[in-house]
């Protein structure tokens, strides 16, 4: 039996994706109320507002700082928005702080998968293929396993793919997209630096 498609479910989907109300209702109806599948449905139909905003230029924003453990860990981070108006809102400032705090706690290596050097991705793929070399599985199955392992690796080293420390049911990318949908502008994490006392010291 299909799940009840109530107003709260539609509202949550709209906040998550930025898609229109009727599109959200249709997506939930088409997926029997399955929230995750509804998000995929909107992405495939290119109806999610975050996807449409992705092509825009976000050149304003804020640089934020977060200091943790009595000065033992520090983070500088730049989040961009399309306008100074959004960059000055309390919601944006909160997002900057939350993402900086996450970086301090989770220590990501890259902003997102596109920031990972190609040679590093190739190296990881070789490692993953070696791990399943003795399984004697068909080549297409091995490729699927390697892609699955690569996706998991991204979720460990890429900021946008990591589970958000304040809500592990959502990724950092999800949090950013929700704020983007709420303000109606593209929001992007541009760069970050994390410093830890004693790091890389022999």
Q: Helix, strand, coil: what percent of the chain each, to 5?
A: 55, 20, 25
Length of the chain measured in residues: 202
Which residue intervals of the chain bear CATH 1.10.286?
117-157
The stretch 51-75 carries a mean pLDDT of 81
Structure confidence by residue, pLDDT tens digits, 141-174:
888 899 999 999 999 999 999 999 999 988 999 8
Query: CB neighbours (10 Å) of residue 173?
Result: 17
The CATH architecture assigned to 117-157 reads Orthogonal Bundle (1.10)
The stretch 176-185 carries a mean pLDDT of 84
Which residue intervals of the chain bear CATH 1.10.8.10?
7-53
Structure confidence by residue, pLDDT tens digits, 83-134:
889 999 999 999 999 999 999 999 999 999 999 999 999 999 999 988 888 7
Span 60-111+158-196: which CATH code?
3.30.479.20
CA gap 52, 37 in Å, rounded: 19
Strand partners, 46: none
Span 7-53: which CATH code?
1.10.8.10
H/E run at residue 150:
helix 139-157
Q: Is the pTM of this model over 0.75?
A: no
Which residue intervals of the chain bear CATH 3.30.479.20?
60-111+158-196
CA gap 131, 145 in Å, rounded: 10
Average pLDDT, the chain: 86
């Amino acid at each position: 039996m299909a799940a009840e498609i109530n107003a709260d479910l539609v509202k949550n989907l709209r906040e998550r994706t930025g898609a229109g109300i009727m599109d959200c209702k249709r997506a939930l109806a088409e997926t029997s109320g399955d929230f995750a599948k509804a998000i995929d449905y909107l992405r495939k139909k290119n109806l999610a507002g975050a996807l449409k905003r992705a092509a825009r230029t976000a050149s304003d924003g804020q640089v934020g700082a977060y200091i943790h453990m009595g000065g033992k860990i520090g983070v500088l981070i730049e989040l961009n928005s399309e306008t100074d108006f959004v960059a000055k809102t309390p919601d944006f400032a909160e997002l900057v702080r939350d993402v900086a705090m996450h970086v301090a706690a989770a220590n990501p290596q890259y902003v997102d998968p596109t920031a990972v050097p190609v040679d590093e991705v190739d190296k990881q793929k070789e490692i993953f293929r070696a791990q399943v070399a003795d399984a004697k599985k068909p080549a297409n199955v091995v490729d699927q396993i390697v892609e699955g392992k690569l996706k998991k690796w991204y979720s460990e080293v890429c900021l946008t793919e990591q589970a958000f420390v304040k809500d592990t049911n959502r990724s950092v990318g999800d949090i950013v997209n929700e704020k983007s949908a709420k303000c109606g502008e593209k929001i992007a994490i541009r760069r970050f630096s994390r410093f830890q006392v004693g790091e890389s010291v022999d």
